[in-house]
Structure 1
Amino acid sequence: MMWEEDEPEVPVKLADDVVDLVFNIECKSLPLDHSYALSSAIQGLLPWFEALEQSGLHLIHGAASGNGWIRPEASDAVLYVSRRTRLTLRLPRSHLQQAQALSGEALDIAGHILQIGKAREKPLAKTDILFSRYVLSNEQDSDEDFLKTAMAEIKRLEINCRKLMPGRGHQFQTLQGTVFTRSLMLADLSFEDAIRLQQAGLGQGRKQGFGLFIPHKGIQAVNQAKQD
């Protein structure tokens, strides 16, 4: 009789050279479309931020609704910021100390003052579901076209994923003009691929808050994004 046991799984060491740096903030309100203004203010204090390939900015989203308040949709609307809201940068570990220079600074975001406090390090998520609220897209593309473009980029990154779902589109004003984004959820990822995608992002514009992924519990992410 021959009896071969399964080979023991070899634990995969997940890369941890890119992390999120999460800052406490004090801020009453921000423009709903604060991508360009916030990115410019950060680059003014961190001149290396734009050129650093793995750096990225998480836009401040805020709650969808609460206590009778509903998140506005117009691009010129104002977003009211709760005390729990944080400012988050995605950075290689090599630049964490330099980014601490933001602590204690007050940023003028299109006339709204954002005071930056202390920061803490947060590792990228070990998860099988990732979600990005804002992936750059062609406004004229169908959902199918958007998914084809996204899948081509995912394959270029050598990430194995067969479950993608697009969500609602948004417009942003940049120095180059109006840009359009769609939300995107990916499911059934390996932890290794999830870390790689969080590190790399998808498409262009990560310094302006586009193409960065965060963990999410499930398909409700996209359904919520369609309502936000």
Structure 2
Amino acid sequence: MVDLSFALHGRTLPRDHRLLLARALAEELPALRDDPRVAVIPVRLVSGDADPALLSARSRLVVRVPRGRAAELQALAGRTLRVGDSVLTLGDAQPRELLPHATLYAHFVDAGDADEIGFIDAIDRQLAAMGVPCHPVCGREQRVQGPAQPLHGYSLMLHGLRARDSLRMLELGLGEHRLMGCGVFVPHKSAAAVGD
């Protein structure tokens, strides 16, 4: 697996853009719908309450793909995506290798209808089934637009990962809706973001 980081040219993006962005990408490359390994890391937006949100000069679209599909995805450079009422043009993609970190963070992991205790119990079971010992820390409860109905979930930090387990979590993620950026982990240096 490799991350492809596309420069973004545009002004705004809806705050809740996960589903809209996944659909826009799948319109350009329909095969993305059928590959559960492909994941999108949520786009960083300027903080605040305005909707649509402004893109910062450093905003990037990062798509995590199997190495064998990288060239196919790099062909998106120069294409224009309509994401709700926003228009984005993708710049060149820079490949970035996945590197293990002891602490990983996911902005949103789908919890179904589970409360925080049920969510952590389910995460503990999934991690045990994968043979990944670590300390999960549940973050802020959230709702995002889903394919059929709103998705309910939490941010999640995994702390104390061994290098090989960290790489597995970066590659596999947790849960469904990876093209929407759900259950997709990124390296993190502190526990502070778990409430974000």
**C-alpha contact 1:125 1:214 (8 A) present in aligned 2:** no
Q: Give the C-alpha shift of residue 62 in structure 1.
A: 2.1
Instruction: Give the equivalent residue in structure 1 for 2:101.
Output: 127
What letter corresponds to residue 180 of structure 2 in structure 1?
Q
Tell me, in whole angstroms, the C-alpha distance in 2 between the residues paired with 1:72 and 1:204.
28
Tell me, in whole angstroms, the C-alpha distance in 2 between the residues paired with 1:58 and 1:127.
17
Tell me, in whole angstroms, the C-alpha distance in 2 between the residues paired with 1:38 and 1:202.
20
Tell me, in whole angstroms, the C-alpha distance in 1 between the residues paired with 2:88 and 2:168.
31
Tell me, in whole angstroms, the C-alpha distance in 2 between the residues paired with 1:215 and 1:60.
15
Tell me, in whole angstroms, the C-alpha distance in 2 between the residues paired with 1:170 and 1:37.
17
**C-alpha contact 2:44 2:60 (8 A) present in aligned 1:** no
Q: Give the C-alpha shift of residue 32 in structure 1.
A: 0.4
Instruction: Give the equivalent residue in structure 1 for 2:183.
Output: 211
Pick from 132, 136, 139 the counterpart of residue 167 of structure 1. 139
What letter corresponds to residue 37 of structure 1 in structure 2?
L
Q: CA deviation digits over 1:47-71, x for unaligned, max 9?
A: 211211311111213244xxxxxx2
Structure 1 runs of 4+ aligned residues shifted over 4 Å read none
Within a 5 Å distance, the mapping from 1:104-143 to structure 2 comes to 104-139=78-113, 141-143=114-116
Structure-2-length-normalised TM-score? 0.95
Tell me, in whole angstroms, the C-alpha distance in 1 between the residues paired with 2:101 and 2:91.
29
**C-alpha contact 1:31 1:78 (8 A) present in aligned 2:** yes
Larger Rg: 1
Q: Give the C-alpha shift of residue 72 in structure 1.
A: 2.1
**Helix, strand or coil for the counterpart of 1:177?**
coil
Tell me, in whole angstroms, the C-alpha distance in 2 between the residues paired with 1:90 and 1:208.
12
Tell me, in whole angstroms, the C-alpha distance in 2 between the residues paired with 1:38 and 1:114.
10
May I ask how many residue pairs the two structures share in their alignment? 196
**C-alpha contact 1:136 1:181 (8 A) present in aligned 2:** yes
**Helix, strand or coil for the counterpart of 2:27?**
helix
**C-alpha contact 2:110 2:183 (8 A) present in aligned 1:** yes
Within a 5 Å distance, the mapping from 1:1-228 to structure 2 comes to 18-64=1-47, 71-72=48-49, 77-139=51-113, 141-161=114-134, 163-223=135-195, 225=196
Cα RMSD of the aligned pairs, angstroms, is 1.4
Choose between structure 1 and 2: higher helix proportion.
Answer: 2
What letter corresponds to residue 154 of structure 1 in structure 2?
L
Q: Give the C-alpha shift of residue 117 in structure 1.
A: 0.5
Structure-1-length-normalised TM-score? 0.82
Instruction: Give the equivalent residue in structure 2 for 1:10.
Output: none
CA distance 1:93–1:222, change in 2 (3 Å): same
Q: Percent identity?
A: 28
Tell me, in whole angstroms, the C-alpha distance in 1 between the residues paired with 2:109 and 2:49.
20
